[in-house]
Amino acid sequence: MQRFSHLFSPLTMGNAHLNNRIIMAPLTRLRAIEPGDVPGPFAAEYYAQRAEAGLIITEATQISFQAKGYAGAPGLHTDEQQAAWAKIVAAVHAKGGKIAVQLWHTGLVSHSSLQPEERAPISASAVTGLHVRTSLRNAQGQTYRAETTPPREATIQDINNVVADYAAATRRAREAGFDFIEIHAAHGYLLSQFWAEVINHRTDGYGGNREKRAKLMLEVIDACVAAWDKNHIGIRISPLGAFNGVDFGYHEDDTVWLAAQINLRGIAYLHLSEPDWAGGKPLTPAFRQRLRETFQQAIITAGGYTAEKAEQVIEAGYADAVAFGRAFIGNPDLVNRFAIGAPLQHFNEATCYGGGAEGYTDYPTWPSKQTDQ
**Residue in 310, 258, 327, 315 with CA at minimum distance from that of residue 287:** 258
Alpha-carbon distances, residue 124 vs 17, 105, 121, 168, 311 (angstroms): 38, 12, 10, 22, 39
Per DSSP, the three-state class of 195 is helix
**Cα separation of 292 and 134, whole Å?**
34
Distance in Å, CB of 186 to ligand PHB, minimum: 6
Q: Give the nearer residue to ligand PHB in terms of CB position, either 105 or 202.
A: 105
Distance in Å, CB of 80 to ligand PHB, minimum: 23
Distance in Å, CB of 28 to ligand PHB, minimum: 4
Per DSSP, the three-state class of 143 is strand
What string of H, E and C letters represents the secondary structure of 151-178?
Answer: CEECCHHHHHHHHHHHHHHHHHHHHHCC
Catalytic-residue membership of 189 = yes
DSSP codes joined into one string, 206-262 = TSSSHHHHTHHHHHHHHHHHHHS-GGGEEEEE-TT-EETTEE----HHHHHHHHHHH
Q: Give the nearer residue to ligand PHB in terms of CB position, either 67 or 186.
A: 186
Amino acid at 7: L
**Residue in 239, 249, 219 with CA at minimum distance from that of residue 294:** 239
Distance in Å, CB of 82 to ligand PHB, minimum: 21
Distance in Å, CB of 285 to ligand PHB, minimum: 25
Q: Which of 47, 166, 189, 353 is catalytic?
A: 189
Give the relative orientation of helices 156-176 and 215-227 as an angle to the nearest 10 degrees.
Answer: 30
Q: Give the nearer residue to ligand PHB in terms of CB position, either 82 or 102.
A: 102
259, 283 contact by CB (below 8 A):
no
Q: Give the nearer residue to ligand PHB in terms of CB position, either 28 or 115.
A: 28
Q: Give the nearer residue to ligand PHB in terms of CB position, either 92 or 185.
A: 185
Site of interaction with ligand PHB (CB under 6 A): 28, 60, 186-187
Instruction: Indicate the pairing of strand 11-13 with strand 16-18.
Output: antiparallel
Distance in Å, CB of 133 to ligand PHB, minimum: 10
Residue facing ligand PHB at closest CB distance: 28
**Cα separation of 98 and 84, whole Å?**
17
Q: Give the nearer residue to ligand PHB in terms of CB position, either 7 or 191.
A: 191
- Which are the catalytic amino acids? 189
